[in-house]
Amino acid sequence: MKINGIPTRTIRAIDNGAAVEIIDQTLLPYRFEKRVLSDWRDCVEAISVMRVRGAPLIGVTGAWAVALAVRENPENEPLLKAAETIQNVRPTAVNLQWAVQKMLATLLPREPSLRLEAALKCAAEITQADVETCRAIGEAGAGLISELYSKLRRPVNVLTHCNAGWLATVDYGTALAPIYAAFERGTPLHVWVGETRPRNQGLLTAWELEQQGVPHTIIVDNAGGQLMQHGDVDVVIVGADRITRRGDVANKIGTYLKALAAADNDVPFYVAAPFSTIDWNLNDGKREIPIENRSSDEVLSIRGVDRSGADITVQLASAREAAANPAFDVTHNRFIKGIITERGVFAPTELCLAYQDVIESMQ
**According to CB under 6 A, which one of 106, 146, 251, 276 is a site residue for ligand MRU?**
251
Q: Which run of H or of E encompasses 19?
A: strand 19-23
Q: Are 30 and 305 in contact (CB under 8 A)?
A: yes
241 has catalytic annotation: yes
CA distance 354 to 363: 16
- Our CB check for ligand MRU shows the closer of 69 and 243 to be 243
User: What are the C-alpha distances in Å from 86 to residues 62, 64, 82, 98, 173?
Assistant: 6, 10, 6, 11, 23
Selected from 9, 53, 190, 216, the binder of ligand MRU by CB under 6 A is 53
- Per CB under 6 A, does 259 bind ligand MRU? no
Q: Distance (Å, rounded) from C-alpha 229 to C-alpha 258?
A: 12
Tell me: does residue 51 bind ligand MRU (CB under 6 A): no
Using the contact rule CB under 6 A, the part of the chain among 126-134, 157-165, 179-187, 313-321 near ligand MRU is: 157-165
Q: Is 252 in the site for ligand MRU (CB under 6 A)?
A: yes
* Position 87 contacts ligand MRU (CB under 6 A): no
User: Measured from the CB of residue 54, what is the shortest distance to ligand MRU in angstroms?
Assistant: 4
Q: Which stretch binds ligand MRU (CB under 6 A): 52-60, 68-76, 308-316, 330-338?
A: 52-60
245 binds ligand MRU (CB under 6 A): no
Q: Are 149 and 186 in contact (CB under 8 A)?
A: no
Output 89 or 228, the one with its CB closest to ligand MRU: 89
Instruction: Decide if residue 200 touches ligand MRU (CB under 6 A).
Output: no
Residue 350, CA distances (Å) to 133, 244, 246, 247, 357 in order: 20, 13, 9, 9, 13
Instruction: Note whether 102 binds ligand MRU by CB under 6 A.
Output: no
Q: Please identify, using beta-carbon distances, which residue of 53 and 258 lies nearer to ligand MRU.
A: 53
Kindly tell me the sign of the dihedral angle through the C-alpha atoms of 155, 334, 219, 290: negative
Catalytically annotated residue among 130, 171, 241, 279: 241
341 binds ligand MRU (CB under 6 A): no
Residue 122 as a binder of ligand MRU (CB under 6 A): the answer is no
Q: Is the bond into 198 cis (omega within 30 degrees of 0)?
A: yes
**Is residue 244 at the binding interface for ligand MRU, with CB under 6 A as the rule?**
no
Task: Pick the stretch among 16-24, 77-85, 126-134, 158-166 that binds ligand MRU (CB under 6 A).
Answer: 158-166
Taking the alpha carbons of 126, 127, 129, 133 in that order, is the dihedral positive or negative? positive
Is 201 assigned to a binding site?
A: yes
Asked if 164 interacts with ligand MRU (CB under 6 A), we say yes
Rg of the chain over Cα atoms, rounded to whole angstroms, equals 20
Residue 261 identity: A
String of DSSP letters for 303-337: EEE-TTS-EEEEE-S-TTS----B-EEEE-GGG-S
CA angle 344–175–278, rounded 5-degree value = 60
Q: How far is CA 213 from CA 123, 137, 147, 244, 263, in A?
A: 32, 20, 22, 35, 30
Indicate whether 238 belongs to the interface with ligand MRU (CB under 6 A): yes
Query: For residues 167-186, which are near ligand MRU according to CB under 6 A?
Result: 168, 174
Distance in angstroms (rounded) separating the CA atoms of residues 223 and 229:
10
Site for ligand MRU (CB under 6 A): how many residues? 17
Residue 356 marked ligand-binding:
no
The answer to the question of residue 54 lying near ligand MRU (CB under 6 A) is yes
Q: Which residues bind ligand MRU (CB under 6 A)?
A: 53-56, 162-164, 168, 174, 201, 238-241, 251-252, 327
Residue ranges for the binding site? 53-55, 90, 201, 251-252
Active site residues: 241
Residue ranges for the binding site for substrate? 53-55, 90, 201, 251-252
